[in-house]
Amino acid sequence: MAMKMDDIARIANVSRSAVSLALNGKDGVSEETRAKIFKVIDEYNYKPLRKNKKSGHQELANVNLLAIQSSGLVGHNYRSLPFFDNLISSLSTRISNGGGTLKINTININSLEQSLKDLPTHTGSTGTIVLATDLTDQQVQLIQSHLNNVVFIDTYYHTINADFVTMDNYQGAFDAGTLMVQRGYKKIGYVASDKLISNFHMRRQGFKDALAAHDLSISNQHFYTVSPTELNPRGLNIHQIVDKDAPDAIFCEDDYIATRLIKSCLNAGIKVPEELGIMGFDDIYEGTLLTPELTTIHVPIEQITKQAIRQLQGQVFEKDWAPQKTLVSTSVVIRASL
């Protein structure tokens, strides 16, 4: 018979409310009482389950979000970036609506193995969602070897037997390249991230294949690299792009780059899209505040977070759950910059 919260309270000789506070990571119980409760939880392999009153489905009570900070996209200020802020807010809202709590743990990639060992074991969590944007396949496998019930979001490795949820980067970039060709552009440039992660690698391949399908390619002189997360136009040399044999249009590997490029064009008196068409990827809100507004690829963040939680529920609640790799389709958003 599955244990209930009342059973934990009785065995630990504490009140039911104390168990509830401890499981939700809230104040109101001493560290001694909290440790006693989690000792019982570990001994009896208790999983704090919740049921959604509306749907009757089992819900996760507590979920850890593990963010791995690096010199890549998930830096020390990653929460200030619109894409990650929207992703985390969506996760928190969905888990909270199910009666649970999202706890964020941030560790440094340079001490990944030791940090995984140092993570608190008495968290009362039913699973972990890893913000795996910058992780290599070896680092994903390392995390998988230390954690039970884990889903990796914002990256994907087809050779690893694990749960992944991310946007279909290849399809999105392929659609972007196809749109630019359909708009009549033939001399097309590409501004890439100077940090090559799995997502950007797939975008690069998808865009390249879209042009190749129309017997087009990106020349070396029209391929540029910049920081993928800087919004300030400083550091992006627009004259390097437009002063000599400029392309007719440019695809940017993410919206941060595209935003900088449009601002740089504005500062330099270059008309977009009349003199240079620009397209991005991610559909961050800031792209709608530009003049002209940014044509981009929309990433359905709400669906990504919903699917990540669904796959974590599968690991926790379903005995025969098999790891699932989910690529969520993207869509083209046509605005005025192209």
Q: 91 - beta bridge partners?
A: none
Q: Would you say residue 155 lies in a domain? A: yes
- What is the rounded average pLDDT of the residues 30-40? 80
pLDDT at 25: 63
91-105, 223-237, 314-328: which has the highest mean pLDDT? Answer: 314-328
Q: Would you say residue 288 lies in a domain? A: yes
- What is the rounded average pLDDT of the residues 173-181? 98
Co-location of 213 and 324 in the same domain: no
pLDDT at 232: 60
Co-location of 154 and 176 in the same domain: no
Co-location of 195 and 234 in the same domain: yes
What is the tens place of the pLDDT at every residue in 198-238?
A: 999 999 999 999 999 999 999 998 998 888 876 665 556 77
The three-state DSSP-derived secondary structure of the chain is CCCCHHHHHHHHCCCHHHHHHHHCCCCCCCHHHHHHHHHHHHHCCCCCEEECCCCCCEEECEEEEEEEECCCCCCCCHHHCHHHHHHHHHHHHHHHHCCCEEEEEEEEHHHHHHHHHHCCCCCCCCEEEEECCCCCHHHHHHHHHHCCCEEEECCCCCCCCCEEEEECHHHHHHHHHHHHHHCCCCCEEEEEECCCCHHHHHHHHHHHHHHHCCCCCCCHHHEEEECCCCCCCCCCCHHHHHCCCCCCEEEECCHHHHHHHHHHHHHHCCCCCCCCEEECCECCHHHHCCCCCCEEEECCHHHHHHHHHHHHHHHHHCCCCCCCEEEECCEEECCCCC
Co-location of 261 and 314 in the same domain: no
Q: Would you say residue 2 lies in a domain? A: no
Q: What mean pLDDT value characterizes the chain?
A: 87
pLDDT category at 54 given cuts 50, 70, 90 is very low
Minimum mean pLDDT range among 141-150, 232-241, 293-302: 232-241
Range of the domain at 288: 169-298
CATH code of residue 75: 3.40.50.2300
pLDDT at 38: 79
Total structural domains within the chain: 2
Higher pLDDT pick, 49 / 201: 201
**Distance from C-alpha of 160 to C-alpha of 162, rounded to nearest angstrom:** 6
**Distance from C-alpha of 336 to C-alpha of 104, rounded to nearest angstrom:** 38
Co-location of 184 and 141 in the same domain: no
What is the tens place of the pLDDT at every residue in 262-276?
A: 998 998 899 999 999
Q: Would you say residue 46 lies in a domain? A: no
Co-location of 180 and 281 in the same domain: yes
Co-location of 157 and 255 in the same domain: no
Co-location of 112 and 224 in the same domain: no
Co-location of 268 and 190 in the same domain: yes
